[in-house]
Structure 1
Amino acid sequence: MEIRGKVHEIGGIQQVTESFKKRDLIVAHAENPQFVEYIRFEATQDRVNIFDNLTVGEDIEISFNLRGRPWTNKEGVTTYFNSLVAWRVTKLAGTAAAAPQHNVGDMPPVDISSSGSDDDDLPF
């Protein structure tokens, strides 16, 4: 799965156990600009470094897997957890994937004066 958004927050590497580490990335996803969603992704083990070259405010596309697992406490109550596990991050600004932006001031002037031909069929 992939989504596009802006980097909102980059977490530090957390050494959870001696053999397990993870890192969080918060992405502001605005499918509807009025309702921005802040989505937490995690990278684990050797993938924690994929967030190293990111900066807050940068436009990205993030590829991830949706994971779910149950956990049963001492009383026998089962709770379910979901995780969005990132495996690739692509910067969008300044890449070929980003569409070029054109401002009116960037466009050359157009000569709309008569070209010398009188066979203009416009009524005005």
Structure 2
Amino acid sequence: MELQGIIKKLGEVQTFPSGFQKREMVLVTEEQYPQPISIEFLKEKGDLLNPLKEGDKVKVSINIGGREWTSPQGDVKYFNSITGWKIENIESGGGFEPTQAAPSSSASTPAQGGNVFEEDEDDLPF
């Protein structure tokens, strides 16, 4: 699976007592409703982030994992993780502007003479 967007944040390498290392990156997708997605790079894959900077437009190959956890009270919870294993710099950006969304298609603008308050059923963010 792949995600594409602009790097909002590059975290530092985190080293744990076991010697395990990870590095996190926040990627903001470029769609009608941009989403900040946290992606982990484990072990030596963290080095893939070294040549990148915030504002760069990238394509990231990811794996999605899930796990189940049972609390001491017996409640079962589920957690997801997104792990990057390959990253491609599409273009270097001039900085991240969180208030600017990617240009949307003309479908999101009302037709000339149309009702501004009418919305498509497909415009819902969920």
- Give the TM-score normalised by structure 2: 0.68
5 Å-filtered alignment, 1:71-90, equals 71-90=69-88
1:103 matched to which residue of 2?
none
- State the match for 1:109 in structure 2: none
Q: Does 1:44 align with 2:42?
A: yes
Is 1:13–2:2 an aligned residue pair? no
Deviation at 1:72, TM superposition (A): 1.5
Larger radius of gyration: 1
Residue of structure 2 aligned with 1:54, choices 52, 55, 59: 52
SS at the partner of 1:19?
coil
What SS does structure 1 have at the residue aligned with 2:44? helix
Aligned residue in 2 for 1:26: 26
Unaligned runs of 5+ in 2: 93-126
Give the C-alpha shift of residue 16 in structure 1.
3.1
Report SS of the residue matched to 1:75: coil
- How do 1:78-117 residues align onto structure 2 when only pairs under 5 Å count? 78-93=76-91
Deviation at 1:17, TM superposition (A): 3.5
Q: TM-score, normalised by structure 1?
A: 0.69
- How far does residue 40 in structure 1 lie from its aligned partner after superposition? 0.5
Number of aligned positions between the proteins:
92
Q: How far apart are residue 19 of structure 1 and its match?
A: 3.0
* TM-fit CA distance, 1:88: 0.4
Match of 1:122 in 2: none
User: Unaligned regions of 5+ residues in structure 1, if any?
Assistant: 95-124
Distance 1:20 1:77 in 2: 29
Deviation at 1:50, TM superposition (A): 1.2
